[in-house]
Structure 1
Amino acid sequence: MPGKAPLVVVGDALLDRDLTGTAERLAPDAPVPVVADCAQRTRPGGAALTAYLAARDGREVTLITGLGDDPASAELRQLLSPELKLIELPLTGALPEKTRVLARGSPVVRLDRGTGRVREATEEAREALRPASAVLVSDYGRGAADSLRDALAERPPLVWDPHPRGGPPVPGTRLVSPARSEARAFADQEGNGNPLRDAARDAAALVRQWRVAAVAVTLGSSGALLSYGEHPLLVPAGAAHPGDTCGAGDRFAATAAGLLADGALVGEAVEGAVAAATEFVGAGGAGGVTHADSGPGSLTDSADARDLVTRVRATGGTVVAAGGCFDLLHAGHVGLLQAARRLGDCLVVCVNSDASVRRRKGPERPVNPLADRTRVLNALACVDAVAVFDEDTPERLLADLRPDIWVKGGDYSGADLPEAALLQEWGGQAVLLPYLDGRSSTALMARVREGAR
């Protein structure tokens, strides 16, 4: 997005996996749940998630992190490379992986493996930091921040997101964002049983102890408490969501750093970060993160979209699907997709392939190739996944996904909606939603041609 300042993220990357299924019985050999029909979802974790979210905000992002020659590092590179610039620090050992097993959306167990730590800084990393005007540190205690501490001290970061195994931020950091439990541990003070008072005392102590400009203690559904050393400001969350809070701290840090980079005051940045983290949890947290490109890990084919559908159904959610060519995305399309998303808990957009569009629209179409169309659709906040079909109509794809609701634009009539009968086979419903008046790709192309004469 034009006008947004670039951001350099320094920190420890992880590879996160979610295995989501249902648990309806205990194992016969031990009193543990059997999680069946698991769908797997892989995504960036740790500093990589923070950087990824900042990039998805439309910002130019450079991530300085440790990566190795192991399979997890290779997979993370594939997830990140379309979105941001990577500067790699050498690892001793394999990239850390975190796998959550969830039953109907609730975590059952977490499995950790990989003990890799950053071995040393590189000159490339130092060169990237020297001119950087906006730096965010996400310190998970695996060596990335420590290896570059001298360079970070020369130009203190805008935001330092600390974690229990990490070290203190460098003096002069503008904003440090510990969670409540992290602030309690770092401050090492006796509590008095009043959580808000304890957070205020911890934040004030950490401002002095760390010699930083401000500390924002994140309080989950209660928002965040911002302290410059005294008279704290409580920034409440606009709503409370019961969703997955995994990754909310990364969303907070990425938003706060971005707003500060763009010139916001610290208070304004914290307010924006609380709102963004609240919305992030409401949209499914880290488990709802999707990828904009058609590379590995992106939701651009029916298999990956089916994983999303399985995950949503495991929590009793409603699956909505919408379809079309979406060649020249306009306000009518966006309004339709936003309305469709409000009908359920996830929205899968079924898109005609280039060959399918040519057969339906003629040899001059599509104007935009499939890769561009899917990228733009995935950038919309209301779209959870994009799946591509090569046939003239999406019946085969719909039979695979079996959505609860199928949405088409209001320029169709019932007679022109063959998918309606198909949806009835599994108890689904096809509906029409109106387009905004006067908005259509045909009209848009006609205006372009008229202007070119």
Structure 2
Amino acid sequence: MKITVVGDTLLDADVHGSARRLLPDNPVPVVDVDHTDHRPGGAGLATLLLAAAGHEVTLVTVLGNDENAERIETALPSVDVVAARLEAPTPVKRRLLAEGQLVTRMDENCSEAGVEVTEEMLACVRSAEAVLVSDYGRHLSEDTRLRAALEEAAAKVPVVWDPHPAGGAPVAGAAAVTPNFAEALTLTENPHGPETSVPEAHTAAEALLERWQSQAVVVTLGARGALTLEAGAGARFSPTLGPTTGDACGAGDCFAGCLTAGLAAGTDLMDAVDRAIAETGEFIVRGGVDALTRAQESETALLGTHEEPGAASPAVQRARAVRARGGTVVATGGCFDLLHAGHVRALSAARRMGDTLIVLLNSDESVRRLKGAERPIVGSGERAELLRALDCVDDVLVFEEDTPVSALEQIRPDIWVKSDDYRHADLEEAEVLTRWEGRIVTVPFVPMHSTSNLAGALRRLDSSAV
């Protein structure tokens, strides 16, 4: 599938350091710089993410004739970059981070620039099988000839438009336009506070759908999810299915790219939105753009849209990402058949011990071997979904064996959590944890709360009904 990304490209620079002291004459931190990471930003980041997911991508953009433009092209080795060249310097957005926390952002050369669209750029739009317009307000999307080519494309292939309040309006017929909450309210001239609001998002989406004449407007709501309003249909809210804590830089580009790829593959709009939300959440919890930089350095892909057989599962990738940035990986395991208050208390306690909690879940066949032919009462798919719905659970890994030893070897947790009615010496997994200096920590056992008791009560209820 050939995807063309059209939009404004800049260079992102993350300056990493540590801040352990203040200026003697002002109460501001002094950051000792360790290193700087460079990567394509804007439309370039959306392109990089799509390429990392295994898609054939062409970037149609405008670049300067300078060292920063060379850095952008070098970071996109598998991408066909078709760019008009300007004498103006390439814009740079430089973030200063201390101990991984954002201190400030400094923008360089980000003032408005002229646009010069070439015939080659127009040809790339006309030949695309899907188009993502990544507008960062530098007026490329306002070019008359380019807009005509995009309108032609929208009549034939999916065109997703990621708008900017200072940029051009999406062309009519776009498959989806994806403003975030703040952008949607700014574009409709409505004031907004720091908190997202579904009713306000719905009102803005109605106005924008009528104004733009697109097929749909998808307002992203950060950690809440997204609200989709499709022409001729009602609004649909798509929630995130797990925690999305982490650096959200690039999340909008990730979402728009995933949505474009989904629509290009023929996925229904609502299903494509749901999938894009899930993949964006994974992108954030794996470390976001910082993990993307590390993935480039090690020549491994961050996103798994085209996952090969045997590739690491999302839970394993999450554990690796947390460990790579120095975090503590916590895991616990069990059948979790009929989730009850005792489970929730134990999981909540486990999550407080580290930076991520991954649950190792017995498969249906594993439960039957351990508990008998009548179990599980709830299948592994639903059990996993219920667990992921808890704020304290970051991911779930289903294993087929009777013990979680092989799953532990994949996750390699720093802490393995069990209820304190277990003895360390009795745990079969104790030996495997010693291979990477993992520790077993117990949490309080909650008496009178067990799945077996609940299952027995259900059987008695069923018998009395007969």
Please give the range of the TM-score, normalised by the shorter of the 2 chains. 0.5 to 0.7
1:104 corresponds to 2:102: no
TM-score by length of 1: 0.64
CA displacement at 1:190 relative to structure 2: 6.5
Correspondence for 2:181: 180
Correspondence for 2:302: none
Contact 2:14 2:37 in 1 (8 A): yes
CA displacement at 1:292 relative to structure 2: 6.1
Flag the 1:330–1:269 CA change in 2: closer, same or farther, 3 A.
Answer: closer
1:345 corresponds to 2:346: no
Q: Deviations over 1:395-435 (max 9, x none)?
A: xxxxxxxxxxxx999xxxxxxxxxxxxxxxxxxx96399xx
- Matched residues, percent identical? 38
Measure, in 2, the Cα distance between the counterparts of 1:155 and 1:37. Answer: 46
Contact 2:287 2:322 in 1 (8 A): no
Contact 2:238 2:274 in 1 (8 A): yes
Gaps of 5+ in 1: 301-328, 349-406, 410-428, 434-453
CA displacement at 1:242 relative to structure 2: 2.0
Q: Which amino acid aligns with 1:145?
A: S
1:129 corresponds to 2:125: yes
CA displacement at 1:241 relative to structure 2: 2.3
Choose 217-226 or 284-293, whichever is displaced more. Answer: 284-293
Correspondence for 1:145: 141
Flag the 1:335–1:84 CA change in 2: closer, same or farther, 3 A.
Answer: closer
Contact 1:140 1:162 in 2 (8 A): yes
Alignment of 1:33-48 (within 5 A): 33-48=29-44
CA displacement at 1:269 relative to structure 2: 1.1
Flag the 1:89–1:292 CA change in 2: closer, same or farther, 3 A.
Answer: farther
SS at match of 1:276: helix
Q: Which amino acid aligns with 2:228?
A: L
Measure, in 2, the Cα distance between the counterparts of 1:336 and 1:208. Answer: 41
1:431 corresponds to 2:433: no
Measure, in 2, the Cα distance between the counterparts of 1:343 and 1:227. Answer: 37
Correspondence for 1:320: none
CA displacement at 1:284 relative to structure 2: 1.5
TM-score by length of 2: 0.63
Measure, in 1, the Cα distance between the counterparts of 2:181 and 2:48. Answer: 24
Measure, in 2, the Cα distance between the counterparts of 1:221 and 1:337. Answer: 19
Measure, in 1, the Cα distance between the counterparts of 2:260 and 2:320. Answer: 33
Correspondence for 1:246: 249
Q: Pick from 79, 84, 89 the counterpart of residue 84 of structure 1.
A: 79
Q: Pick from 264, 268, 278 the counterpart of residue 265 of structure 1.
A: 268
Correspondence for 2:152: 154
- Name the count of aligned residue pairs: 318
CA displacement at 1:288 relative to structure 2: 1.9
Correspondence for 1:218: 220
Two-structure CA RMSD over aligned residues (Å): 3.0
Measure, in 2, the Cα distance between the counterparts of 1:330 and 1:225. Answer: 33
Q: Deviations over 1:38-95 (max 9, x none)?
A: 2321111100000111111111000001112111101111111x12110012224111
Contact 1:66 1:90 in 2 (8 A): yes
Q: Which amino acid aligns with 1:164?
A: P
Alignment of 1:20-419 (within 5 A): 20-80=16-76, 82-115=77-110, 117-147=113-143, 148-156=146-154, 158-189=159-190, 195-229=197-231, 231-290=234-293, 298-299=297-298, 331=310, 342=319, 345-347=322-324
Q: Which amino acid aligns with 2:186?
A: A
Choose 43-52 or 17-26, whichever is displaced more. Answer: 17-26
Measure, in 1, the Cα distance between the counterparts of 2:36 and 2:85. Answer: 28
CA displacement at 1:299 relative to structure 2: 4.0
Q: Deviations over 1:345-373 (max 9, x none)?
A: 2459xxxxxxxxxxxxxxxxxxxxxxxxx
